[in-house]
Amino acid sequence: MKEDRHYTDLLRAHKAFTDIEGRWKFYDAYMKNKDPEAWFKSGDIPLKEGLFLFGFIHSWDPNFQGDLANFLEIYKAIFTLLKKFEHTTIIGVDFSDEIKNSISVIFDEIANCPRTRRFESTDTSKILHAIIPNLFVMWDDKIRKAIVGEEKRGRCYAFEFLPKMQKSAKEYLDSYIKENGGEYGTATLQISKIADNYSLAKLIDEYNYVRYTKRKSLTSIREMAL
């Protein structure tokens, strides 16, 4: 059944997220202290930035098995591919097969960064979001299963999950524009401004987290005061 999406759902979910998930402080600390330019100057990421990133991932997921040395080598290999998305947003991205194939490759390469044979699907989405927060939407097992099913590899993330997130994002923005005027760019900025300057991709993740990971109903989200 098609959901009736309204931008205030994102705002209410943002409030609910900060109320029920104390780890949001780790996200804020990383995003406010990282050097975004360091990730796109070259494939050689300063060790300090890598440590900051992996510290954030471990703060959210103590079971993360990523190997930083391995990740930094992988980043060199995918740098040229990833840099193409430096200024891309979840609204603006053109999901051609070429684009989706590139994201799929990037995702799978990063997910294979651990010392072990574990495929770091959830934490790869966090790594990608941390690097390009306006494009990549995070997922976890419950979010993934609710929206796209069991498959957790890059092809599912790029070909199914992200296009669905783009569709949802446009529906949220359409509801704002219908009531307040403007276009996607201004609507995105205004919603972000109301929600502590979080990116639209992050607000969608928070909605998914509250609804699917924490199993709060859409009705309960809409009953919350802004």
Q: What is the pLDDT of residue 173?
A: 98
Q: What residues does 64 pair with on adjacent strands?
A: none
Tens-place pLDDT, residues 85-135? 999 999 999 999 999 999 999 999 999 988 778 899 999 999 999 999 999
Q: What integer best gives the mean pLDDT of the chain?
A: 94
Question: What pLDDT, on the 0 to 100 scale, is given for residue 2?
Answer: 63
Per-residue pLDDT tens digits for 27-83: 999 999 999 899 999 999 999 999 999 999 999 999 999 999 999 999 999 999 999
- Evaluate if residue 221 carries a pLDDT over 80: no
pLDDT band at 218 (very low <50, low <70, confident <90, very high): confident
pLDDT in tens, 141-163: 999 999 999 999 999 999 999 99
